[in-house]
Amino acid sequence: MRIPCTFMAPTVMTRIVTLLLSCLLAWLPVAASAQEDNGQALLEALDVRAFSEKAAAIEDVIESQDPRANAWLEALLDGKLQRLKDDGSFVIVTDNVGRQWPVEDALSGESLGEVSRRDLDRITINNALRGQLRSALSMIDLFAESREARQAAAQKLIGKVDAELSETLERRLESEEDDQVRRRLEQAMAVYRLEQGDVQAVERLTGSLNSDIRVALTRASQSDDAAVADAAQRALVSIEQQLKLNRGLETLYFGLSLGSVLVLAAIGLAITFGVMGVINMAHGELIMLGAYTTWAMQQLLPGQPGLAVILSIPAGFLVAALAGIAIERSVIQFLKGRPLETLLATFGVSLILQQLVRTVISPLNRTVVTPEWMSGSLVINDALSLTLNRLYVLGFALVVFAGLMLVMRRTRLGLEVRAVTQNRAMARAMGIRATRVDILTFALGSGVAGLAGVALAQLTNVGPNLGQSYIIDSFMVVVFGGVGNLWGTLVAGMSLGIINQVLEPWAGAVLAKILVLVFIILFIQKRPRGLFPQKGRAAEG
Amino acid sequence: MHWLGRPFQERSTQRFLGILIVALAVVTVLNLALPAGHPLHVSTYTVTLLGKYLSYALLAVAVDLVWGYLGILSLGHGAFFALGGYAMGMYLMRQIGDRGVYGHPVLPDFMVFLNWDSLPWYWQGFDMAWFAFAMVLLAPGVLALVFGFLAFRSRVTGVYLSIITQALTFALMLAFFRNEMGFGGNNGLTDFKELLGFNLRSDVTRVGLFIASGVALALGYIVCRAIVGSKLGRVCIASRDAEARTRFLGYRVERVQLFVFVVSAMLAGVAGALYVPQVGIINPSEFSPLFSIEIVVWVALGGRATLYGAVIGAILVNYAKTVFTGVMPEAWLFALGGLFVLVTVLLPKGIAGLLAWRFKRSESSGPGHGDLTAGEATT
């Protein structure tokens, strides 16, 4: 979030910042006791009515070189620096949720237990003060222990450097050892030098994707100095190209991510529908069961969302597989060779399962907590970052696909499945128990749907309608890829995902989806057996 | 016109039309002739409800025509129904004139709300009744023609066709949900005032719509009966039971399929057009795949390939829906889902199958009826 610094003149802000920096640079651990009284006075000064006096008081706090200044200012910014009503002592609220707030003494740092919010007075600030505080605090971060904090602080400075600050930054650059932080500091300096009309500075900025740098270059490209304008213009063109490339990569990533979701949802169907020829309209609800399993696991293991997600991979598989077996035994086995009836009956099952979840759990959506190691994103550069949860789901989809390929190609079960689907009577004559193979295959396909649910729970809300929204897409993917062909499902899912994402920017999400559906409908007219039609005996089934 | 006369010679058609006419007459008389307090008085609310059931029944007959006699399980007939409904809805919207909330002389309320300054081209002409009624037939008919032409020409049949029809209605639902489409977005079209100059709120208009639904059902039934009883109908049944063989015998199966599919879509459109003024609203939920598949269950429950079974199924299921959603709404999906399973697993011939079994001795259905044989299935 950009902070409104416009309320205060830049020079004032810079003065504060520079003051702060100089005190930090010169900072040495000072015995707290020597400043005990001083601290009380500093805080007293903050609790005045006029905001202009407060601004001055904040400067005093910064100048005081007090080691607790950082904590005070942060608390002040968050509205957590408060005063007890009865004795007027200053406290910092550590957690302002509920009615009883745990507080600690602002001067000594001792915990004072919980205090009712009614017994506290907040020290108020306005937006101008907030801006002042934020910039001061961000400078403090430049000296933080952690690399990430320093990087972020340096990043924020790009485009905000002026003469006074640049000297401080020069000094900071001498002592900074981390390359990333250095690079950003140098960029911040280069933007400043560019503003001063230094053509050489452009060189340092070329290739950067930072938006503040682009703003600075754009401004420079309109400057009166032809050399500067020209250099900036050239830099901008090359940046623009890189940006385009990155946007392309981002679209590709989102496409692959959507594709992986489609593949996950459809791959189980590719087994039950594609290989066995059973139309299971309840497939989406099996996905939903997998997602709810994840949610239930997290309820069972509170505080350990990561472990729960990992455990729900086998659990989701089992739950969905068992549900699949139940559907196969109770409905599908009686409708062998009547695909349209199977379609209707399993649709009925899907309605029952949906309503069951609505009645037993809740009609409302449930949220699955994303474990820490799955949240956040992988930052490639300033313009491209890949969200981790989608990356995990993409990897998971590929692993599931590879596993399924192995089962179908390399195991006894896979062999028997293929035998039974190609020629049931002959397979039985060879001693294969066809009924057992039916059950196991259906369980496998259903279990994979459960796995899809576990993955989907990381991306969307878990609700009774979760499955419904994927069933048509899944069938489309299987039909598009070619029934009975797992590779076809992978290629179809991924390409549909990418097509959808490519169309989305200029057509909008809904229209893109419609266009993809229409595209598939037309495609099937042209190639009724999909991208990769089966050849040979299996095709006749 | 002797092909249209033939149905009247069939015992089942005579019986069906007889029951329908008597029911229409009785309900009308009980509503109009008896005072409101009378114990036998049928309230206007009930009449409208029955009218809604009758338009659903016509829709079910349309689905039975393609599913029962052609073997095409359409999971997208709700789309044709909704298109007919939207055509009627657009006419009714234009009839509102300047009586809308915003009082704009031409633009419907939702367009004023969206800051549109003129009527989109596809709304032109809907202020004329004849044009709108023609569109009730044409909009679903043309969609079915284009879709069917593409599908049947490349011999997409069976489950594939079912799934594509489902995708069709799903895509249309998404499209109609968009405000930019100019069909009122997810609120749809509503707040109708009058139809052909009759106030839609008045009791007489409601009874009139009820009778119109009954007459439309009767006509639709006769048309379907005439089709399935003709030589064309035999080809339909033949292609349902053995498509490749019929083709080898020299019949252009895809043309037969296309013709019947378009007729069915038009009937569905008429049903939608009758449905809209009675319920007073049309919105994109009529396009939802769930609704389309529900229609199929009405037919399945009533009994495929009988036509009158579709009518029985539609009325029974919708009556059950009315009762269930009133008494215990959360149980309705359980009941509907259970119905899907029970009918397909235990009652493959539906209620009509039970009736036929009961009356087997007294009446033989005769040739050309196209009763389903147990093992038939089109893949």
Give per-residue pLDDT as tens, A386-412: 888 888 889 999 999 999 999 888 899
For residues B155 and B119, the answer to whether their CB atoms sit within 8 Å is no
Range(s) of the domain holding residue B289 = 2-358
A135-172 tens-digit pLDDT: 677 666 676 667 777 777 777 777 767 666 676 677 77
Residue A431 is which amino acid? G
pLDDT at B364 (0 to 100): 47
Residue of A nearest to B346 (CA): A334
Rounded Cα distance between B166 and B156, Å, is 14
Rounded Cα distance between B215 and A68, Å, is 88
Cβ of residue B149 closer than 8 Å to a chain A Cβ: no
Which residue of B153, B289, B378 is in closest CB contact with A472? Answer: B289
Residue A387: beta bridge partners?
A: A377
Per-10-residue mean pLDDT of chain A, 541 residues long, equals 43 55 48 57 80 79 72 81 82 80 82 81 81 71 70 73 69 74 78 74 72 76 75 80 85 88 88 81 91 90 84 93 93 84 88 89 82 77 78 90 90 88 86 89 92 88 84 84 83 89 80 80 76 61 42
**Cα-to-chain-centroid distance, residue A484:** 34
CB pair distance less than 8 Å for B336 and A351:
yes
Contacts of B350 (CB under 8 A, 6+ apart): B299, B300, B301, B302, B303, B304, B306, B309, B313, B343
Rounded Cα distance between B348 and B300, Å, is 7
pLDDT at A242 (0 to 100): 83
CB pair distance less than 8 Å for A348 and B340:
yes
Place of tokens 């140098």: A186
**Cα-to-chain-centroid distance, residue A232:** 34
Chain B 344-363, residues with CB within 8 Å of chain A CB atoms: 344-345, 348
Rounded Cα distance between B18 and A449, Å, is 52
Q: Which of A521, A523, A527, A534 to mutate to test the interface with B (most CBs of B within 10 A)?
A: A521
Contacts of A231 (CB under 8 A, 6+ apart): A199, A202, A203
Cβ of residue B280 closer than 8 Å to a chain A Cβ: no
For residue B158, pLDDT beyond 90: no
Instruction: Name the domain count of chain B.
Output: 1
Cβ of residue B29 closer than 8 Å to a chain A Cβ: no
Place of tokens 């259906």: A442
Domain-wise residue ranges, chain A: 10-132, 151-245, 246-371+386-535
For residue B153, pLDDT beyond 90: no
Cβ of residue A507 closer than 8 Å to a chain B Cβ: no
Cα end-to-end span (Å), chain A: 60
* Residue B375 belongs to some domain of the structure: no
pLDDT at A401 (0 to 100): 92
Residue of A nearest to B177 (CA): A510
CA A235 to chain B, closest CA, distance in angstroms equals 41
Contacts of B34 (CB under 8 A, 6+ apart): B40, B41, B42
Rounded Cα distance between A480 and A523, Å, is 8
Which residue of B147, B159, B167 is in closest CB contact with A339? Answer: B159
Residue of A nearest to B165 (CA): A521
Residue of A nearest to B153 (CA): A525
Which residue of A331, A340, A354 is in closest CB contact with B377? Answer: A340
pLDDT at B375 (0 to 100): 40
Which residue of B167, B340, B343 is in closest CB contact with A472? Answer: B167
CB pair distance less than 8 Å for A510 and B330:
no
CA A328 to chain B, closest CA, distance in angstroms equals 12
CB pair distance less than 8 Å for B293 and A344:
yes
Contacts of B126 (CB under 8 A, 6+ apart): B87, B90, B91, B93, B94, B132, B135
Range B326-348 average pLDDT: 84
CA B71 to chain A, closest CA, distance in angstroms equals 10
Q: Which of A276, A328, A343 to mutate to test the interface with B (most CBs of B within 10 A)?
A: A343
Closest CA to B302 of B262, B339, B269: B339
Cβ of residue B166 closer than 8 Å to a chain A Cβ: yes
E strands in B116-252: 189-190, 194-195, 198-199
CB pair distance less than 8 Å for B336 and A348:
yes
Which residue of A340, A347, A476 is in closest CB contact with B159? Answer: A340
* Residue B367 belongs to some domain of the structure: no
Report the largest interatomic distance among the alpha carbons of chain A, rounded to a whole angstrom. 97
Rounded Cα distance between A98 and A183, Å, is 44
Best CATH choice for the domain A246-371+386-535 from the list 1.10.10, 1.20.120, 1.10.3470, 1.20.140 = 1.10.3470
Q: By mean pLDDT, which of A296-310, B2-16, B137-151, B278-292 is the weakest?
A: B2-16
Cβ of residue A526 closer than 8 Å to a chain B Cβ: yes
Rg (CA), chain A: 32
* Residue B371 belongs to some domain of the structure: no
Q: How confident is the model at residue B376 (pLDDT cuts 50, 70, 90)?
A: very low
For residues A209 and A382, the answer to whether their CB atoms sit within 8 Å is yes
Residue of B nearest to A540 (CA): B379
Rounded Cα distance between A36 and B219, Å, is 98
* Residue B364 belongs to some domain of the structure: no
pLDDT at A15 (0 to 100): 58
Q: Which residues of A touch B171 (CB under 8 A)?
A: 513-514, 517-518, 521
CB pair distance less than 8 Å for B344 and A344:
yes
Number of residue pairs across A and B with CB atoms under 8 Å?
A: 121
Rounded Cα distance between A482 and A484, Å, is 6
Cβ of residue B178 closer than 8 Å to a chain A Cβ: yes
Closest CA to B155 of A483, A524, A538: A524
Helix (H) or strand (E) holding A455: helix A434-456
For residue B290, pLDDT beyond 50: yes
Rounded Cα distance between A296 and A459, Å, is 16
* Residue B127 belongs to some domain of the structure: yes
Contacts of A242 (CB under 8 A, 6+ apart): A207, A209, A383
CB pair distance less than 8 Å for A345 and B341:
yes
Chain A 455-494, residues with CB within 8 Å of chain B CB atoms: 472, 475-476, 479
For residues A427 and A416, the answer to whether their CB atoms sit within 8 Å is yes
| ipTM for the assembly | 0.81
Residue B195: beta bridge partners?
A: B198
CB pair distance less than 8 Å for A476 and B167:
yes
pLDDT at B1 (0 to 100): 56
